[in-house]
Amino acid sequence: MLSPYRVLDLTDHRGHLTGAALAALGADVVAIEPPGGSAARRVAPYATGVEGPEASLTHFAYNRNKRSVVLDLTTPHGREDLLRLVDGADVLIESEDPGRLASLGLDATTLLARNPALVVASLTPFGQDGPKAGWAHTDLTLMASGCTLAFTGDADRAPVRVATPQGYHFGAASAIGGILLALHQRAVSGCGQHIDVAAQCTVALGTQAGVLASGANAPTPTRTAGGAKAGIIELRFVYPAADGWVSITHVFGTAIGPGTARLMQWAQEEGHCDAELAGKDWANYAVLLESGEEPLENWQRARDAVEALCRSKTKAELLAGAMTRNLYLAPISSPRDVVESNQLRHRSFFAPVEHPATGRTVEAPAFFAKVRGPELPRLGRAPLLGEHTREVLEEAPRSPAVGTPTHPGSTALPLAGLKVLDFTWSIAGPHHTRVLADAGATVVKVESARRPDAARGFLPVHDNAPGAEQSGRRADMNAGKLSLGIDLSVPESMDVIHDLVRWADVVTESYTPKAMRAWGLDYENLRRINPSIVMLSTCLAGQDGPLASFAGFGNLGAALAGFYGLAGWPDRPPAGPFGAYTDYTSTHFILGTLLAALDHRRRTGEGAFIDLAQSEAATWFLAPALLEWTVNGVVAERAGNRDRDLAPHGVYPAAGTDRWVAIACRDDRDWSALAELLGRTDLAALPIAERHRRHDELDELIAAWTSTRSDAEAEAALQARGVPAHLVASSVECLADPQLAYRGHFVDLDHPSRRCLVERTRFALGRTPTVVERRPPFLGEHNAEILGGLLGYDDDQVADLVIAGALE
C-alpha cells in the first residue's frame, strides 16, 4: 500500500516500531545506523542468550523488512551522505533527544529547507520543547508520567509495569498515523511538515480516560490487582482457573450487565450461588451499590461465586463455556500460549523467517491486519548491520513521491473532505475515527438506543452521576463526530444506510463478524453499492477462525495476547495491565492501516477490505517476548519492575499515602549520580552485573531515601543530576502536569450541562495541526443535518422514517 514511499529511519529502540509498521505496509524503509549499530541491537532478550549485533530479538522484532545503512553522522562525510538520501526521501523518523540533531545541523527546519516535501517525525518522551523536554527518561519513567502505571498492580505494593517495555511503543505507534496524515496533506499541498510526537500523551491513552477522572469530578481508579476501584466499588478482572488464570469483564451497565447476568447464571447452575444473587439487576448494579440499596457484601458474594466457578474448571473449559454462553471471559495466555493459539494458527499470524544469529528458520509475528485488495509484502528478517550501505548509497537519485498537488500550498486539514460512516463502539474503533474527525474528516457515527455504545457506561462518569451522556471515556473517543440515531432492525433504515454507503469513502465497524453480515452490510454487499469503498472491520479475534465470534473488550484481548501474564509480581497472580489494553495498543495500527489503504485508493482508485484483529495487532507490542519463545524456547514471565538491562530499576515509596517515584539507571553514570545522592559513594563504582545481583539491597537503600521526601522532591533531585525519574502520576498530577499543559493536551469543550474535558490528538502536526472543537454528540443529535444536509432528503422522506420508527 505504501510502496511508492522511501522512509529514512534514524530511530533506535525508542521509536523503531514506527518504521517497522511502515515497512509492513509496503514502504521502503532504510534504517540509518551509527558505526557499531543502533542502540536497539543492545537490548535484551538475545537469541541463544548471547549478546551480539545480530542477536537482539528486540532489534529483530522491529526492523524486519528494513534495509540497514551505516553512517557516522558526527562526520561531515556521514552527514552529507544522509542529506543526499534526504533529497529523495518522503519521510524521516528520528528518536534522538531534543537538540541532538540540531547540534549536527540536521534539525527538521534544515531538512525541510533542503526537501520541502519531506515529512519529519520526531519521537521523544515529552516533545521537542516545554519544561520536561530535556528530562532524562526510560520506559519505566515514561509509563509513570502518563498515569498508566498508577493504575496497574496490587494496592499493597508499588505500581507495576508490563515486563516487556511498552512506553516508547505508545509514542512510536501513534506516529504511524501522524506520518500518514501528513502524507495525505502533502498530496493536496505538495508540502511536507514536522510531526512532534510526545509519548507521554499516548501513554495516557492507556488509562481508559482515568486520566480525566479528577477533571470530571469522578473517582480516580486505583490499583486492585488486575481490576480497578472507583469510589466504593472494587472491580476484579482476574480469577484463578484450575490450571492458570482467566480474565473476566465482571462489571455492570446496560451493555455489559447482561453478560454478568449470564455468568452468574452459570455460577448458580454449578451450585456456587443462589438464584436470588444470580438474578440481581446487573445492568444497574453500580447505582444500587453506590446508593446503599444493595449491600457491598452481596457484590463480594458474587465475586466469590465466580471465583469458585473458575477454580472448578480449566482455562480451556472456561473458554468453551464463554463461547457457548456469550460471556466476557478469556484465558490469560503466556507467550507460548499465544504462539500456539489455534486462533492465530488458523489466521496464519505467525510465519517462518530466517534468523541470522541462529542460522535457523523461526516463527515470527506476521502483518497486523489482513487486507483484501492492495498487495502487501511478505515480512522477512531484520537486516545485518550495514548490509545495504553500498546498495543504497550507489542507487540512482530518486525524487519524493509527491505527484501533482491538487491545491499547492494549501493548509487544509489532512482529511478535509473525507467522508466516514462509523459503526464502531467501545474504545479501539471510536478512537481511530476520533482522530479522523480531528484531521478534518466528516464522521457519521451510527448508533441506536436499542444497541447503545457500551462506552456510554464506562468510567469516569461526570459528577459520579450515571447517565447516557455522562461517560468521560465516551466523550474523549467521540468528540467532533455527527450522530445518527437509527434502529437497524427497522427495514426502512437500510435505505438510509445504503445511501450513506454511497456517500462515504470509508466504512468502519467493530462488531463481531456476524453482525454486519446479518444486516447485509458485509464488504461484498457494500462494494456493490460503492465499488471504491474502503471498509475496515476490527474485533477482538478477527473475522474468521474458532474464536471469530468471541465477544469482549480489551482486557480480554490483553489476556489472549499475553499482556496480563507479564504484568505483576512473580509471587502473585497477574495484575493487569489496567483496563482494555489491546484497545489502546491496537487502535494505532487500525488508524495506520486505514490511512495506508486510503493513500493507495487515492493513487489507484482501488478500494480495500481490512480485517484487523485487535488481539493480533496488539501483540506487536510484545513481539520480543514472543520471539524469545520461538527462538530460545524461553517463556517470559512477569518480573515486577525489574529490567533485563537496567539496574537499579523500580518504583519506590515517597512520603504520603500511595505516593511513588519511578527511578531507573541506564548506565554507570546514572548509578554513580544516584549513589552520590544516597550518600553511598562507596557503591558508586558498582558495575552493572553487581547492581543486578544486589538489586534487593539497592532497592532498600533507595526506598529509605525516597520515603523521607515527597515524590516531587525526589523527582527534582534526581532529574537535576540527570538520573531518569518521574513521580507516578495519577489523574490529579497529570491534569496539573506542566508539560501536558504546555502541549495543550487537555481541552475543555462547550457542553450544555457539564464540563466536557477531552484529550488532544496524541501527535502534533506542525503545519496543519489537527483540531478538536466540538463536544461528543448526543444520540441522534444530527439526524436532520445528516439526512437533509449530507443525503439531501426532503421533509417527507424524513417524516416517513419517523413514522416507521427508524429514527431515534
Interval 354-384: pLDDT, tens: 999 999 999 999 999 999 999 999 999 999 9
| Buried/exposed code over 695-722 (b: 16+ C-beta within 10 A; e: otherwise) | beebbebbbebbeebebeebbebbbeee
**Which residue is listed with cell 496524515?**
181
Predicted confidence (pLDDT) per residue in 748-768, tens digit: 999 999 999 999 999 999 999
Instruction: List the catalytic residue out of 583, 643, 670, 699.
Output: 583
The C-alpha atoms of residue 589 and residue 600 are separated, in whole angstroms, by: 16
Residue 685 confidence class, pLDDT cut points 50, 70, 90: very high
Predicted confidence (pLDDT) per residue in 379-399, tens digit: 999 999 999 999 999 999 999
| Buried/exposed code over 437-449 (b: 16+ C-beta within 10 A; e: otherwise) | bbbbbbbbbbbbe
The C-alpha atoms of residue 23 and residue 194 are separated, in whole angstroms, by: 20
The answer to whether the pTM exceeds 0.85 is: yes
Identify which of 550, 552, 549, 517 has the alpha carbon closest to the alpha carbon of residue 535.
517
Residue 558, exposed/middle/buried by CB under 10 A (0-12, 13-18, 19+)?
Answer: buried
**Is the separation of the CB atoms in 558 and 564 below 8 Å?**
yes
The C-alpha atoms of residue 745 and residue 234 are separated, in whole angstroms, by: 29
pLDDT attached to residue 551:
85
Identity at 693, one-letter amino acid code: R
E-assigned strand segments in 461-566: 482-485, 506-509, 534-539
**pLDDT > 70: what percent of the chain?**
100
DSSP 8-state symbol, 406: S
pLDDT attached to residue 552:
85
pLDDT attached to residue 365:
97
Sheet holding 238-241: strands in order across? Answer: 238-241, 244-248, 329-331
Cα–Cα distances in Å, from 168 out to 17, 38, 143, 181, 618? 9, 16, 9, 21, 14
Coil/strand/helix, residue 281? coil
Range in 58-67, 108-117, 251-260 the model is least confident about = 251-260
The C-alpha atoms of residue 564 and residue 476 are separated, in whole angstroms, by: 25
In the numeric block, which cell numbers belong to residue 399? 525524487
Predicted confidence (pLDDT) per residue in 579-593, tens digit: 899 999 999 999 999
**Does residue 211 have a pLDDT over 90?**
yes
Contacts of residue 671, Cβ cutoff 8 Å, sequence gap at least 6: 647, 648, 665, 684, 686, 691
**Is the separation of the CB atoms in 250 and 235 below 8 Å?**
yes
The C-alpha atoms of residue 623 and residue 644 are separated, in whole angstroms, by: 16
Contacts of residue 200, Cβ cutoff 8 Å, sequence gap at least 6: 125, 126, 127, 132, 142, 145, 146, 171, 739, 740
Range in 232-241, 345-354, 707-716 the model is least confident about = 232-241
Predicted confidence (pLDDT) per residue in 125-181, tens digit: 999 999 999 999 999 999 999 999 999 999 999 999 999 999 999 999 999 999 999
**Does residue 230 have a pLDDT over 90?**
no
Instruction: Look up 583 and say whether it is catalytic.
Output: yes
**Does residue 255 have a pLDDT over 80?**
no
The C-alpha atoms of residue 74 and residue 506 are separated, in whole angstroms, by: 46
pLDDT attached to residue 454:
80
* Largest Cα–Cα separation, the chain: 86
Identify which of 337, 401, 453 has the alpha carbon closest to the alpha carbon of residue 599.
401
Identity at 399, one-letter amino acid code: S
What DSSP string describes 608-625?
EEEEEEHHHHHGGGGHHH
In the numeric block, which cell numbers belong to residue 507? 466504512
> Around 256, how many Cα atoms within 13 Å sit in the side-chain half-sphere?
20
In the numeric block, which cell numbers belong to residue 114? 533542503
Question: Would you list the domain boundaries of the chain?
Answer: 649-730
**Does residue 251 have a pLDDT over 70?**
yes
Helix axes 581-604, 428-438, angle to 10 degrees: 50
Residue 623, exposed/middle/buried by CB under 10 A (0-12, 13-18, 19+)?
Answer: buried
Q: How many helices (H) and strands (E) does the chain have?
A: 33, 26
The C-alpha atoms of residue 112 and residue 119 are separated, in whole angstroms, by: 8
In the numeric block, which cell numbers belong to residue 732? 490529579
Mean of pLDDT values over 337-365: 96
The C-alpha atoms of residue 179 and residue 169 are separated, in whole angstroms, by: 15
In the numeric block, which cell numbers belong to residue 206? 492507556
pLDDT attached to residue 467:
86
The C-alpha atoms of residue 403 and residue 168 are separated, in whole angstroms, by: 33
pLDDT attached to residue 226:
66
The C-alpha atoms of residue 619 and residue 628 are separated, in whole angstroms, by: 13
Residue 48 confidence class, pLDDT cut points 50, 70, 90: confident
Backbone angles phi, psi at 29, to 5 degrees: -105, 120
Cα–Cα distances in Å, from 186 out to 246, 402, 691? 47, 7, 50
**Is the separation of the CB atoms in 526 and 502 below 8 Å?**
no
The C-alpha atoms of residue 336 and residue 181 are separated, in whole angstroms, by: 36
Mean of pLDDT values over 419-426: 97
Contacts of residue 736, Cβ cutoff 8 Å, sequence gap at least 6: none
Predicted confidence (pLDDT) per residue in 596-617, tens digit: 999 999 999 999 999 999 999 9
pLDDT attached to residue 474:
95
Report the residue count for the chain: 808
The C-alpha atoms of residue 565 and residue 515 are separated, in whole angstroms, by: 31
Bridge partners, residue 423, by sequence = 509
**Does residue 253 have a pLDDT over 90?**
no
Backbone angles phi, psi at 422, to 5 degrees: -110, 110
Decide the pairing of beta strands 756-759 and 746-749: antiparallel
What DSSP string describes 698-732?
HHHHHHHHHTTS-HHHHHHHHHHTT--EEE---HH
Cα–Cα distances in Å, from 198 out to 94, 626, 665? 12, 27, 22
Mean of pLDDT values over 645-661: 98
Bridge partners, residue 484, by sequence = 446
Average pLDDT over the chain reads: 97
Mean of pLDDT values over 515-538: 98
Between the CA atoms of 376, 381, 382 and 388, what dihedral angle is there, to the nearest 10 degrees?
-80
Residue 113, exposed/middle/buried by CB under 10 A (0-12, 13-18, 19+)?
Answer: exposed
**Is the separation of the CB atoms in 213 and 731 below 8 Å?**
yes
Mean of pLDDT values over 689-712: 99
If one counts every other C-beta atom within 10 angstroms of the C-beta of residue 398, the result is 13
Task: Answer whether CATH 3.30.1540.10 is correct for domain 649-730.
Answer: yes
In the numeric block, which cell numbers belong to residue 597? 489503504
Report the run of H or E that residue 733 belongs to, with start and end.
helix 731-735
Predicted confidence (pLDDT) per residue in 400-410, tens digit: 999 999 999 99
